[in-house]
């Protein structure tokens, strides 16, 4: 039966890869099929309806709340001009040195990446950051990659991601935080190396573009002044509270929302702005929320006793126990997290992680190391991930060009993460 379950998983990956089914729908379908194949009854204990669907759907509720708060804060950073001001200041200070501007946009992207993820994060940093880099001579592919690499620097400190791995892998937040702190230097070094090396290799680029002026006058846009300097600290407030002062994730994020609000908004306008950005945040959060409902359902399915019994011998046979082999095998398998592949942690990879833990093949913290290492690759180089698609299209290049340019750097980040995992937890 284990082989049949794996074949069903492969079919699910094919459906996602070929875009026959959206990832969230494919994961739910997979979960129901796996549950039936595992011999789960329709209702009752360890059943399809009561356990997989009813208990699985809200399993990642804490993550979903964190996602909503992150999206809310992201909307506030956008509406209050905090993100735009950060980028503008960087261009004004470093504009005649493209590498300096790119490093500045990288830093802003990292800050944004600690608050929110996916395409909204890329938009926050990239809507002004990408054309601003192109305007000072950074080539387009390098510019798109810079925003993505920057967001990936922030991801180890993205509080909703801590909450996700904590809930999904049943680990304390402290353990997740401890590993993320170890992963961060790899992400930072790789991102800085990307900006410096790629700018040096590709040099600058200036074009006489037909898009530089339009025959139509530019539409009147809402004029946002610069946000005050102390408001620019808003993205780091949740981080300081959660990382430095050990405050729980949701209150830390709420504090960030309040800080961004009171430093930029007149008292009379606060209620209106809070509600508007909160509802806007729901819209931004909708895709990841759907995905987290689906992942919760899939995790519930692969943890069913029948599924664990069926998959355990197979997974044990193919999973390396030797630390060196662990690093080599799982680093070589990095491309399997691209194109919605089976190791994508926001897809079937979450299910595989659940199987590895439920069957006791690896300790949960080792699976955390593996999954977060893959997450650093997926978030930057996957041509089907929304932030990569958005950043590439907005820069006027293809997601595949961005993948080719960034993959070597994030592959090294994954290698670093695997080495730390093997050294500390195997």
Partner 1 sequence: MSASRAPVTDGLAATDDIGWAVRLLAATPTHEHRDPELLRRWARAADAFGAALAPVGCEARVVERDGGLELGLLARYTSRPPTVELFTDTLALAERVVDARGWRDWYPPGSVRAAALAHEAVHVHLHHGPAKAALKHALGHSALRLGRLRVPGHVAGAEEVAAHAYARTVCGLGRSPLLLTAALAAEAEARSGSANGSNPPPARDARREN
Chain residues binding partner 1 by CB under 8 A are: 22-24, 81, 84, 87-89, 91-96, 118-119, 123, 127-128, 131-132, 135-137, 139, 201-218, 221, 223-226, 287-288, 290-291, 346, 385-386, 389-390, 393-394
User: Is 43 or 393 the residue whose CB approaches partner 1 more closely?
Assistant: 393
Shortest Å distance, C-beta 367 to partner 1: 20
User: Is 281 or 416 the residue whose CB approaches partner 1 more closely?
Assistant: 281
Shortest Å distance, C-beta 25 to partner 1: 10
User: Is 88 or 276 the residue whose CB approaches partner 1 more closely?
Assistant: 88
Token match 């993100």: residue? 83
In Å, how far are 24, 30, 31, 162, 298 from 27, measured between CA atoms?
A: 5, 5, 6, 22, 6
Return d(Cα 421, Cα 370) in angstroms, integer. 7
Angle at which helix 270-302 crosses helix 305-318, to 10 degrees, equals 80
User: Is 311 or 343 the residue whose CB approaches partner 1 more closely?
Assistant: 343
Shortest Å distance, C-beta 210 to partner 1: 5
User: Is 225 or 268 the residue whose CB approaches partner 1 more closely?
Assistant: 225
Shortest Å distance, C-beta 139 to partner 1: 8
Shortest Å distance, C-beta 125 to partner 1: 12
Return d(Cα 150, Cα 130) in angstroms, integer. 12
Tokens representing residue 183 in the block: 């992963």
Tokens representing residue 185 in the block: 């230097």
Tokens representing residue 417 in the block: 């993460």
Shortest Å distance, C-beta 426 to partner 1: 29
Which residues lie closer than 8 Å to 368 by C-beta, 6 or more apart?
A: 165, 169, 171, 175, 176, 179, 421
User: Is 127 or 278 the residue whose CB approaches partner 1 more closely?
Assistant: 127
CB 157 within 8 A of CB 244: no
In Å, how far are 161, 236, 244, 253 from 259, measured between CA atoms?
A: 22, 10, 17, 10
Shortest Å distance, C-beta 273 to partner 1: 18
User: Is 21 or 254 the residue whose CB approaches partner 1 more closely?
Assistant: 21
User: Is 280 or 288 the residue whose CB approaches partner 1 more closely?
Assistant: 288
Q: What are phi and psi of 78, to 5 degrees?
A: -75, -55
Shortest Å distance, C-beta 43 to partner 1: 31
User: Is 137 or 156 the residue whose CB approaches partner 1 more closely?
Assistant: 137
Write a three-state SS string for 296-311: HHHHHHHCCHHHHHHH
For residue 207, the tally of other CB atoms under 10 A from its CB is 11
Return d(Cα 388, Cα 406) in angstroms, integer. 11
Return d(Cα 228, Cα 249) in angstroms, integer. 26
Shortest Å distance, C-beta 126 to partner 1: 10
Return d(Cα 155, Cα 406) in angstroms, integer. 16
């Amino acid at each position: 039966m284990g082989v049949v379950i794996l074949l069903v998983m492969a079919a699910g990956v094919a459906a996602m890869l070929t875009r026959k089914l959206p990832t969230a729908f494919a994961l739910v379908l997979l979960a129901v099929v796996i549950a039936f194949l595992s011999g789960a009854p329709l209702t009752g204990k360890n059943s399809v309806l009561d356990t997989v669907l009813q208990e699985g759907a809200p399993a990642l509720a804490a993550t979903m709340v964190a996602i909503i708060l992150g999206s809310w804060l992201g909307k506030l950073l956008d509406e209050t001009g905090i993100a735009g001001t950060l980028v503008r200041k960087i261009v004004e200070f470093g504009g005649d040195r493209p590498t300096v501007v790119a490093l500045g946009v990288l830093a802003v992207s990292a800050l944004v990446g600690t608050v929110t993820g996916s395409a909204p994060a890329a938009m926050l940093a990239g809507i002004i950051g990408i054309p601003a880099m192109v305007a000072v001579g950074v080539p387009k592919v390098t510019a798109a990659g810079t925003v993505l690499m920057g967001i990936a620097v922030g991801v180890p400190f993205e509080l909703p991601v801590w909450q996700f791995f904590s809930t999904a892998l049943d680990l304390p937040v402290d353990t997740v935080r401890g590993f993320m702190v170890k992963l961060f230097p790899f992400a930072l070094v790789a991102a800085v190396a990307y900006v410096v090396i790629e700018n040096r290799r590709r040099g600058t680029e200036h074009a006489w573009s037909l898009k530089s002026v339009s025959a139509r006058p530019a539409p009147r846009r809402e004029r946002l002044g610069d946000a005050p300097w102390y408001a620019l600290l808003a993205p780091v407030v949740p981080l300081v509270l959660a990382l430095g002062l050990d405050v729980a994730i949701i209150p830390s994020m709420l504090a960030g929302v309040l800080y961004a609000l009171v430093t930029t908004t007149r008292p009379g306008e606060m209620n209106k702005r809070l509600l508007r950005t909160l509802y806007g945040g729901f819209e931004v959060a909708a895709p990841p929320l759907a995905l987290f409902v689906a992942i919760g359902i899939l995790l519930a399915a692969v943890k069913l006793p029948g599924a664990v019994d069926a998959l355990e011998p197979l997974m044990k046979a193919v999973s390396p126990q030797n630390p060196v082999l662990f690093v080599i095998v799982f680093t070589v398998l990095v491309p399997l997290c691209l194109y919605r592949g089976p190791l994508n942690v926001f897809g079937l990879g979450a299910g595989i992680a659940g199987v590895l833990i439920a069957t006791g093949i690896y300790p949960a913290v080792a699976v955390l190391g593996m999954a977060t290492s893959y997450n650093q690759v997926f978030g930057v180089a996957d041509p089907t991930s929304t932030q990569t698609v958005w950043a590439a299209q907005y820069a006027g290049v293809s997601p595949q060009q961005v993948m080719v340019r960034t993959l070597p750097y994030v592959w090294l980040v994954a290698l670093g993460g695997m080495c730390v995992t093997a050294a500390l937890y195997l």
